[in-house]
Amino acid sequence: MSTSNDASPIYSRVSITQTQVIYFAALIAFWIFAYLSTFEQMVSTWFESTTFEHAILIAPITVWLIYRKRYAFGLARTKSGDAIFGFSGLVGAITLFVIGKLALVNAVQQFALMSMPLFFVWGIFGLVTMRHLLFPLLFLMVSVPFGEFMIPHLQEVTADLTVMLLTWANVPVYREGWYLQIPEGLFHVAEACSGIRFLFSTITIGLLIVHLEISSKLKQFIFMVCVVITPIIANGIRAFIMVYIGHVSNMRAAVGFDHLVYGWVFFFIVTALVLMFSRLFYDDKRLPQVGEKTVNLNINRKRLFACFLIVALGPVLMTTYHSQQQSVLTNANEQEQTVDEVVSYAGWAPVYSHFDKYNTRFSNSDGHSIIFHEITYLTEGEEKELITWSNKPYDPEHWSVAASIESVYNIDGRMVPYTFLQLKNGRGKSISTVYTWKIGDKYSSNPLKVKGLQVFSKLSLNDFGGVALYAASQGIESHERLIKALIKLEEQKSE
């Protein structure tokens, strides 16, 4: 039987009893309760970030999309292969969720979480039903607040387009980073000017149009390419218009509140044009016909119960992990912990927060002073991570990188990757520093590899945090000497 939206067969109506509705509603409620903290994190992001405000509507739209294809539940199959593949996928999603939770990567755990309903349907109702409901189930993932890493790139594109259009309009402009200077004043291409909110909203609308109105795969592809490109170009034009209005009005217009008003009016017009443009791609896409014949929906209770058990697997694993983590932290608190004052060396110190231990010491090599920093995280949490954007090898407000080298130090056949930085500040000072991270007995200077090592250590219940190691000197510029001194000190401490 064809599973296309435009399939010719006439499908039967589906009769669902109140008891069956309660069963499935209980599964959804249990799923939400079991992963409540992650749901709360997602929802708070929707309301706190204007970039993802549109995600609030995704769940209601998904329910409506499933309802209009409710005939698909009448195609439910009870083949054992469907249960095996569906529940295997569900176990995989939960495993990925746990990995994301242990690595403290929100996007991984949230995408894994929002993929679970797809495997609910596959495991309980079968592959045929899941294929008919594939778009609504995948559309649910659009609600994941992901993509803010694109903001700097979109700011760059917006600034490039604005400068290009100003040049064409013969408006003198000087650009420095995301600041645009024209004779009448200074404009800043801020994060809010990146257009990412408009881009995500337009893509969401485009996906719905593709699903509801366009059946040709080629048309779908061309339309979605247009949907992605259009808001990016439109945002560059909007930024140009704002600057140009400021130019011709001598900064009396397009600044302050009216800057926002003009921006919203422009976006409204562009969205309306996108909707009008989309009609060129419509090809009379319709839902399959549903006849008068009625079939009763049968939910396999064994499969439903299996779903409950597998969904509970994630919280059980995380509870076991947290109990072991708390035991490690309790034992560590009973031991003597040293948290030294963060000592600056020539005005430099690594920037870290929420650590459990911080040790600083000095050493001399051929008359040159070396400072060592050992920053230990016994455990990690949502607000406490070894690898995070706020933990840096230097304060970027006071230091800049003059040279950077990734290298490996060989100690008795054991390879220790590390990073060397030559730092300079505005007062003519220079400092050389090397750093690496240690997870268990393994070293790495690659943040992604460190996250992977942390996941394996946490899964084995051996190590729940990690250590950042730094060595710096003004007189020693050889990174080999610095890393040798750092590893020698660390190995002596470990003996």
Tell me whether residue 191 is exposed, middle or buried, using C-beta atoms within 10 angstroms of its C-beta: 0 to 12, 13 to 18, 19 or more. middle
Could you tell me if 61 and 139 are in contact, meaning their C-beta atoms sit under 8 angstroms apart?
A: yes
Pairwise CA distance, residues 393 & 350, whole Å? 4
Q: Residue 3 has what pLDDT?
A: 40
Could you tell me if 416 and 408 are in contact, meaning their C-beta atoms sit under 8 angstroms apart?
A: yes
Find, among 361, 358, 363, the residue nearest to 340 by Cα.
358
Pairwise CA distance, residues 464 & 325, whole Å? 6
Pairwise CA distance, residues 35 & 317, whole Å? 12
DSSP string, 102-157: HHT-HHHHHHHHHHHHHHHHHHHH-HHHHHHTHHHHHHGGGGS---GGGHHHHHHH
Pairwise CA distance, residues 398 & 430, whole Å? 11
Find, among 364, 351, 363, 311, the residue nearest to 91 by Cα.
311
AA letter at 81: G
Pairwise CA distance, residues 202 & 209, whole Å? 10
CA distances from 219 to 200, 228, 283, 286, 422 (A): 20, 14, 9, 16, 52
* Alpha carbon 179 to its chain's center: 27
E strands present in 339-459: 357-365, 368-377, 400-411, 414-424, 430-439, 442-444
H or E stretch covering 209: helix 196-213
Could you tell me if 118 and 138 are in contact, meaning their C-beta atoms sit under 8 angstroms apart?
A: yes
Find, among 423, 411, 401, 376, the residue nearest to 483 by Cα.
411
**Scanning the structure block, which residue is given the tokens 């594939």?**
134
Pairwise CA distance, residues 401 & 435, whole Å? 14
Q: Residue 338 has what pLDDT?
A: 57
Q: Residue 335 has what pLDDT?
A: 53
User: Under 8 Å CB-to-CB from 4, ≥6 apart: which residues?
Assistant: none
Find, among 304, 282, 5, 14, the residue nearest to 135 by Cα.
5
Residue by residue, pLDDT tens for the chain (495 residues) are 334 444 457 877 888 888 888 888 999 999 999 999 999 999 999 998 888 988 999 999 999 999 988 888 888 877 788 889 999 999 999 999 998 888 888 899 999 999 999 999 999 998 989 999 999 999 999 999 988 888 888 888 988 999 999 999 988 888 877 778 888 888 878 777 788 888 999 999 999 999 999 988 999 999 999 999 998 998 888 888 888 888 888 777 655 545 566 667 777 888 888 889 888 898 877 777 777 788 878 788 889 999 999 999 999 888 877 777 677 666 655 555 556 567 778 889 999 988 888 989 888 877 788 999 999 998 887 778 898 888 999 988 788 888 899 999 887 778 899 999 999 886 778 899 999 999 988 899 999 899 888 888 887 777 778 999 999 998 888 888 999 989 888 887 665
Pairwise CA distance, residues 339 & 437, whole Å? 18
User: Under 8 Å CB-to-CB from 364, ≥6 apart: which residues?
Assistant: 370
Pairwise CA distance, residues 141 & 440, whole Å? 35
pTM exceeds 0.85, yes or no: no
Pairwise CA distance, residues 120 & 130, whole Å? 9
User: Under 8 Å CB-to-CB from 165, ≥6 apart: which residues?
Assistant: 236, 237, 240, 244
Could you tell me if 391 and 468 are in contact, meaning their C-beta atoms sit under 8 angstroms apart?
A: yes
Q: Residue 139 has what pLDDT?
A: 96
